[in-house]
Amino acid sequence: MVVALFSFYYLRQLDGLRQLQTETIDRNRRDSLQLIRIQNDLNSLGLAMRDMMEDRDGYGVGAFRNEFRRLRRDLDDALTKGRAAGQRQYLAESLAQFWRTSDQVFSTAEAGESARAKRMVNDSLQAQQASLTSTVARLLIANNEAEESAAQQVASIYDRSERNVYLFLFAMLASITGIALLAAHYNQRNFERVAALSEQRSELARRLIGVQEEVFKSVARELHDDFGQILTAVGLMLRRGDVGEVKQVVQEALEKTRSFSQALHPTILDDYGIEIALERYTQTWQKQTGIPVNYEREGGGKLPEGRPIHVYRIVQEALNNVAKHSKATEVTVRLDMDEKRLLLEIEDNGVGFTGRPRNGLGLTAMRERAELIRGTIDFHKGSDGGTLVRIEVPTTE
């Protein structure tokens, strides 16, 4: 209701301002333009009369009749546009007297009385032109004064409107503040419950991922230390005999076991660090999928314990998404690490996201892992229209 009343009041102010501008300021400006036009024509008449009196070219007074006719047409046209009725009538009467006198001048000149015609110009016509010029100048001054007065009224309306707007905003802010405080009082418990649930969810995610990694690491160690050694020994013993087919099968089993071990927990990550581990993984992934991978790395450093595996898993999930969904023909993995942070980008030239990234299990896991290591992960459109995944992780505790 308050907003409606204020809007109605403000619209009335604007309507009054629009009317003032239309009826006074705009009209005065149009009138001033026509008065300037009339003033220019009167000045041209004055110059023409000066030339008539001097008659340097010897053409006589009658030679200026055409110029007077042209200026008369322009003056009559300017007089019909704008101006109040009283002012227009006064100017029209004065101009009519001027034209009657000018007609007498040209008639006298055509009768061969050039000297008399010049005296009429000097005694009467120039005085009438001067009187008209003075009248137009006064009208221009009056128009300017009226325009200044209207401008002051417009400024006054703007000042009142501005003051009222500030008062209205202050009242609205006070009302909003009161409502916000009341809402905060009633919603505080709900916020506390949401915060508690969020903390519980994050803690649960941390525990689940931690347990998962421990399981993967344990299974990988067993496969690598025990089963891998057995297959290696069998391969050595069979190499002594002439059983090539069996040796080939055992070799393939050994490679699969090692691949499975690396999938569960990459031992190269513990031995050589995240840079070498990602390089080796991208090479393996390229062989498996047939999609070329450009691996670029700059700088160097070491992540705190527990963080490399999460970065590694995020890259795994990102590349798996590329293979499954992107239809890409090329992937670029950029790694830049210094003493403060690790910056990792995975960019493909595929179809990209058709809409906003969905909160699927894979993307959720990537976000959770990034949060666990105090990092950030963002999904953007790639330079070639595909998907760009950017991960930033601090390298300090």
pLDDT above 60: residue 243: yes
89-117 pLDDT per residue, tens: 778 888 888 899 988 888 888 888 888 88
Confidence (pLDDT) at 17: 60
Identify which has the larger pLDDT, 122 or 84: 122
Confidence (pLDDT) at 6: 57
Q: Which residue in the block uniquely carries the two structure tokens 């325009």?
A: 147
Confidence (pLDDT) at 287: 92
How far is 118 from 361, CA to CA, in rounded Å? Answer: 105
Alpha carbon of residue 100 to chain centroid: 66
139-158 pLDDT per residue, tens: 888 877 777 777 777 667 76
Identify which has the larger pLDDT, 114 or 391: 391
How far is 95 from 86, CA to CA, in rounded Å? Answer: 14
Q: Which residue in the block uniquely carries the two structure tokens 């992780």?
A: 393
Identify which has the larger pLDDT, 114 or 26: 114
pLDDT above 90: residue 375: yes
Q: Where are the alpha helices (DSSP H) in 223-360?
A: 228-239, 244-264, 267-272, 274-289, 308-321
How far is 163 from 157, CA to CA, in rounded Å? Answer: 10
**Side chain identity at residue 93, one-letter code:** E
Identify which has the larger pLDDT, 28 or 291: 291
272-320 pLDDT per residue, tens: 889 999 999 999 999 999 999 999 999 888 888 889 999 999 999 999 9
Per the CB < 8 A criterion, the answer to whether 385 and 349 are in contact is: yes
Q: What is the torsional sign of CA 212, 214, 216, 218?
A: negative
Per the CB < 8 A criterion, the answer to whether 311 and 344 are in contact is: yes
Confidence (pLDDT) at 62: 81
269-282 pLDDT per residue, tens: 888 889 999 999 99
Residues linked to residue 199 through DSSP beta bridges, in sequence order: none
How far is 6 from 1, CA to CA, in rounded Å? Answer: 9
Percent residues over pLDDT 70 in the chain: 71
How far is 62 from 107, CA to CA, in rounded Å? Answer: 8
Q: Strand 376-381 vs strand 387-394: parallel, antiparallel, or unpaired? A: antiparallel
Q: Where are the alpha helices (DSSP H) in the chain?
A: 2-20, 27-54, 65-79, 85-110, 114-120, 126-222, 228-239, 244-264, 267-272, 274-289, 308-321, 361-372
Identify which has the larger pLDDT, 223 or 174: 174
pLDDT above 80: residue 236: no
Whole-structure pTM over 0.85, yes or no? no
Q: Which of 26, 14, 103, 122 is nearest to 65 (CA)?
A: 103
Comparing 51-60, 62-71, 216-225, 280-289, the range with the smallest average pLDDT is: 216-225
Secondary structure (3-state) at 340? coil
Confidence (pLDDT) at 282: 94
How far is 19 from 25, CA to CA, in rounded Å? Answer: 9
Q: Which of 99, 11, 121 is nearest to 55 (CA)?
A: 121
Q: Long-range contacts: 195-204, Cβ < 8 Å, 24+? A: 202/368, 202/371
- From the CB of residue 14, how many other CB atoms can be counted at a distance below 10 Å? 12
Residues linked to residue 345 through DSSP beta bridges, in sequence order: 334, 390
What the block records as the tokens of 237 is 């013993």
What the block records as the tokens of 350 is 């595929």
Identify which has the larger pLDDT, 308 or 18: 308
Domains of the chain, earliest start first: 2-174 (1.20.120), 267-394 (3.30.565.10)
Per the CB < 8 A criterion, the answer to whether 284 and 255 are in contact is: no
Per the CB < 8 A criterion, the answer to whether 133 and 125 are in contact is: no
Arithmetic mean of pLDDT, 14-41: 72
